[in-house]
Structure 1
Amino acid sequence: MTESPVHPALWPAPHTSVAVDATVTVPGSKSVTNRGLVLAALAAEPGWLRRPLRSRDTLLMADALRATGVGIEEGVGPDGSGEAWRVIPAGLHGPATIDVGNAGTVMRFLPPVAALADGPIHFDGDPRSYERPLGAVIEALRTLGARIDDDGRGALPLTVHGGGALDGGPVSIDASSSSQFVSALLLSAPRFNQGVEVRHTGATLPSLPHILMTVDMLRAVGAQVDSPESGGEPNVWRVAPSAMLGRDLTVEPDLSNAQPFLAAALITGGRVTIPDWPEHTTQPGDALREIFTAMGGSYELTELGLTFTGTGTVRGIDVDLSDVGELTPGIAAVAALAESESVLRGVAHLRLHETDRLAALTKEINGLGGDVTETKDGLRIRPRKLHGGIFHTYHDHRMATAGAIIGLAVKDVQIENVGTTAKTLPDFPQMWTGMLGA
């Protein structure tokens, strides 16, 4: 794995008093890259993944799949048109040890893959990964025929004793904590002997666009999926057993990682263009167009990409973010700079993300003079003049970019461990200063 650049322990967040005017090319989507890697690894023939994201989470996924026997060759595409990974499926096997880091996609998507391998696959990761919800996936896999040793923790570390196949069939799961629980079972389901029928039993289902992304990508490799949005039974997904095709997939830009740059246009009254913004996408980040427009900006989407323009006035917002929870830190940062109150709803599940994001945002914004209070399922943010100080990240990439957004408008903000952005956006500090022409 390539090493990330070394950054100071406290990174002085760039501050500007002029309108931003920049074009920012955002790297590929982590969510698409890691789903694409899993599907290509389970396919019946080799495939290409073009313009993949190279970040900690995606390199952890690639290394994990290599450990089980999958070939992943990094280079340029067959037509020489830029970086591409050639994925060569192979007989999955252990023994192997997989480092998940703190990547939810790796810790949740790969145990079902490991159940298809011959031999034991051991999973371990960062200390925070031990605290993140995984028990529902473990129990679901046991119901489907897998043998897993977790010493009763329902969490990492654990060992999946793969038997070369998995029965599959019907299973009920409460995915209220993470939509990744559903995606984890669906991605490998075509390789299960009976396919799978996943029934969500919880009262809520966060981040639904990520499940739609999983379903769309499964269909693109030839899988038969019956899902609620296509007229199927509510909260039930059925995947038939089948071979998956090797595809030539181009990864879309990561729209959620475009958030801080669009926010920069909004809060400075400037203009930022993100090239290659797709006209149609299942990425949650696409919601930024409407959310940031409601907060005082405007956008234009053309064949060149998305151009977002701010007016210099930032309005508060009352919004349900249950489908797009990963956008909450950046929206909270913008809301802290708004001229009126904001209420962010539907994101109680963020307490179980890379860190407890609701508690972290409350503590750090208030530490800069803000007025944020936690609610049962989100945050209430009232306008107050902010001042400089240290903005802690808790090893959470979206906390780091949230701090940078605030620092753009508030002098003397220092970001602790900005290097944590390497999780999904390795070059963020350089991209941020580049946007300002530095």
Structure 2
Amino acid sequence: MGIIEDLKWRGSINQTTDEAGLTDLLKTKKISLYVGVDPTAKSIHIGNLIPLTILKRFQNAGHRPVIVIGGGTGMIGDPSGKATERQLLPPDVFDENVKRITKQLTRLFGKDGFEIVNNYDWLSKLNLISFLRDFGKLFPINVMLKRDVVASRLEVGISFTEFTYQILQAIDFYTLYKEKDVQLQVGGSDQYGNISSGVELIHKMVGPEAKAFGLTVPLLLKSDGTKFGKSAGGAIWLDPDLLSPYEFYQFFYNQSDTDVIKLLKIFTFLNPDEIDQLAKQVAEAPEERAAQKRLAQEVTAFVHGPEAVQEAEKISQILFTGEVQNLTGKQVAAAFSSVPSITIDSGEIPVLDLLTQDNLIEKSKRQAREDLKNGAISINGQKITDVDAVVNPADKFEGHFVIIRRGKKKYFLAKVH
């Protein structure tokens, strides 16, 4: 199975500018291809991961991926998916984002066999006259107005700055084609117009015979029709400082039976036979969640490394058994980041005061006494029945946390300040 056929089987292709031409090209040579990454956030998220996974598939097949960090275009603002003009970031924030994202991309693609470039390096050298004379003449306004990303903004308004974004992205493709022999751009479905502009520019500047192609990935929706990639806490970031590998693992492990096979196809590098076998297990023994576990393992290993998988599964096992006293402070921070929490002082605190602070755990000391006497309360993994007990935060987790469990499943966290 060729790589285009494999991507189609995985449901990873939305549109191509010339599928037959691209397929023929891939039969004759190893190519260079690129994805653009917007550095206006501190991290890329799993929505970005879909086209990046395609680049990784090409890399595994011997092709050469190039990542373009939008140091220039990010300062302008991509109108795609935005209802209003983008707020431009201060240069120092922008530069820090570029450094963080570069680190994340290196973790995905390794140190060899791929290249990261910044389009600021060439876009910043353009002056207004050369921009208008060399490129502006080649972009008919009537065509630009029909691009989806522009047309959707005409009623509410779009600045000339964001209107020109598609020209700048086209210049990216032309520059990479000319200087690095990049022949394919991969992007999200909302980027098809911009990608097509790049292909058209290359044909106008080089000639209609130039072999340049575009490929977009579909918008990934869950079986209930909602957009994949969001959690109750927001975006699923790839930066471990913004979302712990444990939470990342859990996000994929908690996917539904109806979605998990589709996600295995898109996000993992398992072959069709392995995925078909997991689909059979979902149908015959869904309670085992074998497909979800494999999905979580594969994607977490790709993004954070195999050690992160081991750590996530260790935390999961500890939480399942309730033996939270075996966690480290760092593991507590990762595992309990989303549970209800209170803030306490570092000194000793009576258990009744701890349980009733801010009415978070118990609504009254009477109810707290009842739950203690009934054995429903555990502190740091130890059952507490003494209503006069005193809790010392310094006893566990480097003195930073106290874990309270009421009943079998309800956890609360006290953070020491």
TM-score for both structures, normalised by structure 2: 0.29
TM-score for both structures, normalised by structure 1: 0.28
Higher RCO, 1 or 2 (CA under 8 Å, sep at least 6)?
1
**Higher relative strand content:** 1
